[in-house]
Amino acid sequence: MISASSMSVLLVDDQTSIRSILRNTLSQIGFVQIAGVRNGLEALEHLKSNPVHLIISDFNMPDMDGLELLKVVRSNARTAKTGFIMLTGQASKDLVQQAIAEGVNNFLAKPFTASSLKSRIEAVFGPICSV
Protein backbone atom coordinates (compact mmCIF):
# COMPACT_ATOMS: atom_id res chain seq x y z
CA MET A 1 0.00 0.00 0.00
CA ILE A 2 1.34 3.42 -0.99
CA SER A 3 1.13 6.39 1.34
CA ALA A 4 -0.54 9.46 -0.18
CA SER A 5 1.78 11.69 1.84
CA SER A 6 4.83 10.21 0.09
CA MET A 7 3.53 10.93 -3.42
CA SER A 8 3.93 14.17 -5.35
CA VAL A 9 1.17 15.44 -7.63
CA LEU A 10 1.16 18.10 -10.36
CA LEU A 11 -2.21 19.70 -11.16
CA VAL A 12 -2.47 21.18 -14.66
CA ASP A 13 -5.55 23.30 -15.31
CA ASP A 14 -6.04 26.85 -16.57
CA GLN A 15 -8.85 27.45 -14.08
CA THR A 16 -7.61 28.49 -10.65
CA SER A 17 -10.86 27.29 -9.07
CA ILE A 18 -10.45 23.74 -10.42
CA ARG A 19 -6.83 23.58 -9.24
CA SER A 20 -7.98 24.77 -5.82
CA ILE A 21 -10.77 22.17 -5.62
CA LEU A 22 -8.36 19.42 -6.70
CA ARG A 23 -5.75 20.58 -4.17
CA ASN A 24 -8.29 20.60 -1.33
CA THR A 25 -9.68 17.21 -2.31
CA LEU A 26 -6.21 15.67 -2.57
CA SER A 27 -5.36 17.13 0.85
CA GLN A 28 -8.49 15.46 2.32
CA ILE A 29 -7.24 12.14 0.93
CA GLY A 30 -3.83 12.69 2.55
CA PHE A 31 -1.64 14.14 -0.20
CA VAL A 32 0.72 16.91 0.89
CA GLN A 33 3.12 17.39 -2.04
CA ILE A 34 0.81 19.16 -4.49
CA ALA A 35 1.89 21.71 -7.10
CA GLY A 36 -0.29 23.46 -9.66
CA VAL A 37 0.28 25.13 -13.02
CA ARG A 38 -1.93 26.72 -15.69
CA ASN A 39 -1.06 24.76 -18.84
CA GLY A 40 1.10 22.11 -20.45
CA LEU A 41 4.03 24.44 -21.10
CA GLU A 42 4.21 25.40 -17.43
CA ALA A 43 3.89 21.71 -16.51
CA LEU A 44 6.89 20.79 -18.67
CA GLU A 45 8.92 23.60 -17.12
CA HIS A 46 7.96 22.39 -13.63
CA LEU A 47 8.83 18.78 -14.46
CA LYS A 48 12.37 19.72 -15.54
CA SER A 49 13.42 20.21 -11.92
CA ASN A 50 10.51 18.66 -9.99
CA PRO A 51 9.68 15.08 -10.94
CA VAL A 52 6.26 13.92 -9.75
CA HIS A 53 4.48 10.61 -9.27
CA LEU A 54 1.18 11.78 -10.75
CA ILE A 55 -0.07 14.42 -13.19
CA ILE A 56 -3.74 15.36 -13.20
CA SER A 57 -4.39 17.46 -16.29
CA ASP A 58 -7.35 19.10 -17.96
CA PHE A 59 -7.86 18.42 -21.68
CA ASN A 60 -8.58 21.99 -22.80
CA MET A 61 -6.05 24.69 -21.93
CA PRO A 62 -4.34 27.52 -23.79
CA ASP A 63 -0.72 27.29 -24.99
CA MET A 64 -0.47 23.50 -24.60
CA ASP A 65 -3.47 21.27 -23.96
CA GLY A 66 -3.58 18.08 -21.91
CA LEU A 67 -3.26 15.75 -24.89
CA GLU A 68 -0.09 17.48 -26.12
CA LEU A 69 1.29 17.41 -22.59
CA LEU A 70 0.55 13.68 -22.37
CA LYS A 71 2.39 13.06 -25.66
CA VAL A 72 5.49 14.90 -24.45
CA VAL A 73 5.42 13.24 -21.01
CA ARG A 74 5.17 9.77 -22.56
CA SER A 75 7.93 10.48 -25.12
CA ASN A 76 10.48 11.54 -22.47
CA ALA A 77 12.40 8.72 -20.76
CA ARG A 78 12.44 10.64 -17.43
CA THR A 79 8.66 11.07 -17.29
CA ALA A 80 7.35 8.18 -19.42
CA LYS A 81 6.22 6.13 -16.39
CA THR A 82 4.60 9.07 -14.55
CA GLY A 83 0.96 8.42 -13.64
CA PHE A 84 -1.33 10.56 -15.79
CA ILE A 85 -5.03 11.18 -15.15
CA MET A 86 -6.94 13.30 -17.65
CA LEU A 87 -9.60 15.59 -16.19
CA THR A 88 -12.57 15.85 -18.50
CA GLY A 89 -15.65 17.98 -18.68
CA GLN A 90 -17.19 16.98 -21.96
CA ALA A 91 -14.36 15.45 -23.94
CA SER A 92 -15.27 14.09 -27.34
CA LYS A 93 -14.96 10.37 -28.01
CA ASP A 94 -12.10 11.22 -30.41
CA LEU A 95 -10.10 13.01 -27.70
CA VAL A 96 -10.63 10.17 -25.25
CA GLN A 97 -9.47 7.62 -27.83
CA GLN A 98 -6.40 9.73 -28.63
CA ALA A 99 -5.54 9.98 -24.92
CA ILE A 100 -5.85 6.22 -24.55
CA ALA A 101 -3.61 5.72 -27.59
CA GLU A 102 -1.02 8.07 -26.05
CA GLY A 103 -0.95 6.15 -22.77
CA VAL A 104 -3.21 8.00 -20.34
CA ASN A 105 -3.66 5.97 -17.15
CA ASN A 106 -7.18 7.05 -16.26
CA PHE A 107 -9.88 9.70 -16.65
CA LEU A 108 -11.68 11.80 -14.03
CA ALA A 109 -14.97 13.45 -14.95
CA LYS A 110 -15.94 16.89 -13.67
CA PRO A 111 -17.61 17.31 -11.25
CA PHE A 112 -15.81 14.80 -9.06
CA THR A 113 -15.84 13.71 -5.43
CA ALA A 114 -13.00 12.77 -3.09
CA SER A 115 -14.10 9.17 -3.48
CA SER A 116 -14.05 9.24 -7.30
CA LEU A 117 -10.66 10.98 -7.32
CA LYS A 118 -9.20 8.46 -4.88
CA SER A 119 -10.56 5.51 -6.87
CA ARG A 120 -9.02 6.85 -10.10
CA ILE A 121 -5.64 7.28 -8.38
CA GLU A 122 -5.88 3.79 -6.86
CA ALA A 123 -6.65 2.35 -10.31
CA VAL A 124 -3.23 3.67 -11.36
CA PHE A 125 -1.12 2.99 -8.23
CA GLY A 126 -3.04 0.45 -6.20
CA PRO A 127 -4.42 1.07 -2.71
CA ILE A 128 -3.28 4.29 -1.04
CA CYS A 129 -3.44 5.19 2.62
CA SER A 130 -3.58 8.68 4.05
CA VAL A 131 -0.77 8.21 6.57
Q: pLDDT value at position 93?
A: 82
Exposure class string for 47-72: b at 16+ Cβ within 10 A, else e: beeeebbbbbbbbbbeebbbbbbbbb
4-62: pLDDT as tens digits: 999 999 999 999 999 999 999 999 999 999 999 999 999 999 999 999 999 999 998 99
Spell out a b/e string for 73-105, using b for 16 or more CB atoms within 10 Å of the CB, else e: beeeeebeebbbbbbbeebeeebbebbeebebb
4: number of Cβ within 10 Å: 21
- Residue predicted with more confidence, 71 or 89: 71
